[in-house]
Amino acid sequence: MEYKITMPQLTDTMETGKIVRWLKKEGDYVQENEPVVEVETDKAVMEVPSFRSGILKKIFVEEGEEVPVGTQIAVIETDVEKGKEKSSHKEEISKDIKEKHKESKEELEKKVLEQIKQEEEKIELPESSASPSAKKLAKELGIDIKKYQEQGLLPVPAHEKDIKELFYKNFFTKEALEILQKYNLSLEEVVKQIKKEKISKKDILKFIQNNNIPQIVPISDVQKRVIENLQRSISIPVFHIYEEIKTGNIPDIEGITLTVWLIKILGDTMQNHYRTRAKLEGDIYKVYPNSNICVAIAVEEELFVPVIKNVNLKSLKEIADDLNKLKEKAKQRKLTLEDLTGSTFSLSNLGMFNILSFDAIIPPERVGIVAIGTEIRGKTKITFSFDHRIINGREAAIFVDEFKNRFLDKDYLNKLKKEVV
């Protein structure tokens, strides 16, 4: 029997997925729940497992391709055992390969020999391996097209732009050329403006600054997904509540950061306010029993929002361990579907960067987010943002007030401390 692997919807907001890397190749045996492929979603790169054991019969989507959710990306033959593949299955695989190439063994060998011959013939390039305009320009500039093509420095056939690029590269140092590539500058134009026989890195940097030239920075696929989600967030009707909490009462515990305390206190407070644990779906609310909170984690220039699950049931130590594991997985781009889904509230802390206060954008599928500023003399400014479709101003105010008062409840704080030490 055949088991079809399709592009899964790995996050609530995912519409398409990109194949990053196949972990198995055609003909490999795959165990049930064994990762088969790495897929890039709108939030991270995740491993996708097979839910059946068998032979990876065929791959339909190659690495680097992006396809909509639900598209078939591979198929697995399930009626085989590891090391005991049926002969009929081997014949089927062989048939597939032959169908793919449409060639017999002899024809394949012939094709390989012809390819080798063609590679050898490339050494003796014909004089006509360039366009007429390229030949004319090369003659004017004293460039031996055949020589540079043999060295792999000119393409076959060569065109006028290739000759110009080869010629003008000689005016730059290696370091200067590396900078030019980042700014997508025309070599010819730079040479004409700087007018030096050898242009250095310093010359290029000065030229860029004097002419206010922007650097070309490609947007990563992860960042593209973040942009898409932020555009969705704009449609959420949001209101804000600005407050200040007394963080000076929080006990010092080695390994337990302010962020960990905030997550725990937020999660406990959510238990008394069911709308903070709700999701809006059509004309109903789905209210979840536990407090699941996503936390913004920045890795260089990219942002991830993994989820701390069941915060109300965990100690400070357990939350700290979860947070550290998620940070490490984010750094390695190994966050899974389970790591990224299931939250109803979010937390973003910029206090460690000495930011006094800020507003944070509510991620899609969340009730709200709390933005944490820096701690000054035992007090910290916070900003809550709420989705007005799920929670109104009165309910939100009561929720925020309880959250604030928990930081004044020394019995509650010491109880949390005793669970750790």
Domain boundaries, the chain: 2-85, 122-170, 171-217, 223-418
Task: Write down the pLDDT at residue 9.
Answer: 81
The DSSP secondary structure of 336-377, one letter per residue, reads -HHHHS--SEEEEE-GGGT------PPPTT-SEEEEEEEEET
Crossing angle (nearest 10°) for helices 201-210 and 174-183: 30
Q: Give the mean model confidence (pLDDT) for residues 315-327.
A: 97
Give me the numbers of helices (H) and strands (E) for the chain, helices first please: 14, 18
Q: Give the mean model confidence (pLDDT) for residues 22-50.
A: 85
By the 10 Å C-beta count (0-12 exposed, 13-18 middle, 19+ buried), 266 is classed as buried
Task: Write down the pLDDT at residue 352.
Answer: 92
Kindly give the residue spans of alpha helices, DSSP state H, lying in 195-273: 201-210, 221-233, 258-270
Q: Give the mean model confidence (pLDDT) for residues 156-175.
A: 86
Q: Of the ranges 123-132, 227-236, 316-325, which is most confident?
A: 316-325
Model confidence at 301, in pLDDT bands (50, 70, 90)?
A: confident
Topology given in CATH for the domain delimited by 223-418:
Chloramphenicol Acetyltransferase (3.30.559)
Q: Give the mean model confidence (pLDDT) for residues 226-254.
A: 87
pLDDT at 118 over 60: no
Distances, alpha carbon 418 to alpha carbons 251, 252, 414, 421, in Å: 10, 12, 6, 5
C-alpha 106/C-alpha 382 separation (Å) is 74
Q: Give the mean model confidence (pLDDT) for residues 234-259.
A: 93
Q: Give the mean model confidence (pLDDT) for residues 9-22.
A: 81
What is the Cα 192 distance to its own chain's centre?
41
Task: Write down the pLDDT at residue 128.
Answer: 45
Task: Write down the pLDDT at residue 226.
Answer: 66
Q: Which of residues 366 and 92 earns the better pLDDT score?
A: 366
Task: Write down the pLDDT at residue 95.
Answer: 55
Q: Which of residues 131 and 411 earns the better pLDDT score?
A: 411
Task: Write down the pLDDT at residue 241.
Answer: 98
Q: Give the mean model confidence (pLDDT) for residues 204-224.
A: 82
pTM: 0.61
Task: Write down the pLDDT at residue 122.
Answer: 46
Task: Write down the pLDDT at residue 154.
Answer: 86
What is the Cα 34 distance to its own chain's centre?
22
C-alpha 116/C-alpha 179 separation (Å) is 38
pLDDT tens figures, 52-93: 899 999 999 998 888 988 899 999 998 765 555 444 444 554
Task: Write down the pLDDT at residue 60.
Answer: 93
Topology given in CATH for the domain delimited by 2-85:
OB fold (Dihydrolipoamide Acetyltransferase, E2P) (2.40.50)
Q: Of the ranges 159-173, 192-206, 401-415, which is most confident?
A: 401-415
C-alpha 356/C-alpha 374 separation (Å) is 5
Model confidence at 126, in pLDDT bands (50, 70, 90)?
A: very low
Task: Write down the pLDDT at residue 114.
Answer: 65
pLDDT at 179 over 50: yes
Contact between 245 and 379 under an 8 Å Cβ cutoff? The reply is yes
pLDDT at 337 over 70: yes
Query: Whole-number mean pLDDT of the chain?
Result: 85
pLDDT tens figures, 88-114: 444 554 455 455 545 555 665 566 556
pLDDT tens figures, 268-277: 999 999 999 9
- Judged by DSSP in three states, 313 sits in helix
Q: How wide is the angle at C-alpha 382 spanned by C-alphas 377 and 383, nearest 5°? A: 160
Q: Report the DSSP pairing between strands 345-349 and 307-308.
A: unpaired
pLDDT at 224 over 80: no
